[in-house]
């Protein structure tokens, strides 16, 4: 059996050639100094965009999309549902929207996938927009000026 000429070193001695030395002494009492409490401030809430007059007008209105088998016919849940295709992270103008109940709105936002095609969804939504626009004109929220 071969004998080593140099004794084996521990892991602490391998790199530096000796034990690791601390630059600051360890406290002898074993108690860590208590840290002051972290000052926490409340996160600022981003302001919710204000509803336009057309969006506010949807409250209490009947659903104009009325998806068969989906619509809940509850005017308390009606909101303004914008058409898709307004561009990346933007919506169409409020003029291109329909009054939709919460269930129809969920269906338009993606619930249609299992029951209808995208073309069917767009057709129902456009029909709702066509039914909504005369209501907005009557309420004076869309004004049509005469051509001179």
Active-site residue numbers? 82
SS3 129: helix
DSSP state of 92: -
SS3 99: strand
Percent helix / strand / coil, the chain, rounded to 5: 30, 5, 65
DSSP state of 7: P
Cα separation values, 39 from 32, 43, 45, Å: 20, 12, 18
Location of structure tokens 């329909």: 98
Q: Measuring CA to CA, which residue among 115, 35, 110, 102 is closest to residue 69?
A: 115
């Amino acid at each position: 059996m071969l004998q080593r000429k140099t004794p084996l070193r521990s892991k602490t001695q391998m790199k530096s050639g000796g034990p690791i030395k601390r630059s600051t002494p360890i406290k002898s009492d074993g108690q860590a100094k208590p840290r002051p409490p972290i000052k926490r401030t409340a996160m600022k809430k981003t302001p919710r965009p204000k509803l336009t007059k057309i969006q506010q007008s949807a409250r209490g209105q009947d659903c104009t999309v009325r998806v068969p088998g989906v619509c809940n016919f509850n005017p308390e849940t009606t909101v303004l549902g914008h058409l898709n295709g307004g561009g990346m992270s933007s919506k169409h103008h409020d003029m291109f929207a329909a009054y939709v109940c919460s269930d129809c709105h969920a269906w338009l936002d993606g619930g249609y996938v299992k029951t209808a095609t995208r073309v069917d969804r767009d057709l129902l939504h456009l029909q709702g927009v066509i039914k909504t626009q005369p209501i907005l004109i009557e309420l004076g929220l869309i004004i049509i000026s005469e051509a001179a």
